[in-house]
Amino acid sequence: MATNPFAGRVDEMLASQMTFNLVTKIQFKIRLMKIINVFGIKFYDGDFRFVYSQISKGGLLVAPSGPGLANLKDQRYYNSLVNSDVAILDSGLLCLLIKTFTKFSVKKLSGYKFLNLLLDQLKLVKKIKIFTIDPSKEDSLSNKKYLNSIGVDIKNCQYIAPFYDEIEDKLLLSLIIEARPKVILINLGGGIQEPLGFYLKQQLKYKPIIICTGAAISFLTKKQAPISAMIDKFYLGWMLRCIYNPKAFLPRYFKSLALILSFFKAKKNIVCEFVR
């Protein structure tokens, strides 16, 4: 029976092509990062390394919560999210909605997890200047004590924010211009910290890293519910906060259910893109 002299060669070519396709697929996953555009806000899928590589160049990072995303009628707040440089998927509810009702798969990167990993990076950088904006003197002292304990020295670069009606703070701006910190860590409530971060981004002549992770640092200092990596992984941080302080958080998270209706109204406009 005659044999095909080209059969072995064809097999080699097919094997080579399969290997090339596999390598290309792996390289594609490594080099490209997924961005999900929801409500006109570009959310970076939950890969800390890529997010850090983007924000380390300077810019505004926001981590909008479920209750915050349920209140996008607040134009000042919405504008700050749309004009941020990086938005991360902090809301477990939004992640579940995207994964369940669209063809896209996303991974949550909470403000808690991001800040934890960011501080691990900052500890490795010598003489980096960090400026914190805190809601009270008590929080300021607690945050300073914690940051110093993990090897992040913030010295006297702290500011206790006033109650903001209009987002304009010339005293804060002058202090930051004088100190020129590399990182500005805003630890205020959602709805205020993002417009404040956007205000600083617009007013400053240089490009620091502006981080709006709000109460995330309070989980690390144990001033709020003791959230762990496991609780955060399974989207249960909201439940623990409600258990520890139901009066404050039950109404807040009940209001976030409005996000479900907003999501379905915007669902057809959700798009996904890949960037390097």
CB 135 within 8 A of CB 161: yes
- Write down the pLDDT at residue 12: 54
Nearest Cα neighbor of 212 from 237, 195, 227, 225 is 195
Q: Which helix (H) or strand (E) holds 43?
A: strand 41-44
Residues 144 and 149: their CA atoms lie apart, in Å, by 8
Q: Which of 68-77, 121-130, 184-193, 228-237 is predicted with the least confidence, judged by mean pLDDT?
A: 228-237
| Averaged pLDDT score across all residues of the chain | 86
pTM of the model: 0.84
Statement: residue 149 has pLDDT above 50? yes
Rounded (5°) CA angle 40-60-212: 95
Residues 201 and 209: their CA atoms lie apart, in Å, by 9
Residues 176 and 180: their CA atoms lie apart, in Å, by 5
Give the model confidence (pLDDT) of 176-229 as tens digits.
999 999 999 999 999 999 999 999 999 999 999 999 999 889 888 887 767 777
- pLDDT > 90: percent of the chain: 62
**Alpha-carbon Rg for the chain in angstroms:** 22
Assigned token pair, 32: 């490209």
Interhelix angle 48-55/111-122, nearest 10 degrees? 60
**156 — pLDDT class (breaks 50, 70, 90):** confident
Nearest Cα neighbor of 115 from 215, 43, 45 is 215
Q: In what order do the strands lie in the sheet with 130-134?
A: 158-160, 130-134, 183-186, 209-212, 59-62, 86-88, 41-44, 33-38, 271-275
Q: How many Cβ atoms from other residues are within 10 Å of residue 248's Cβ?
A: 11
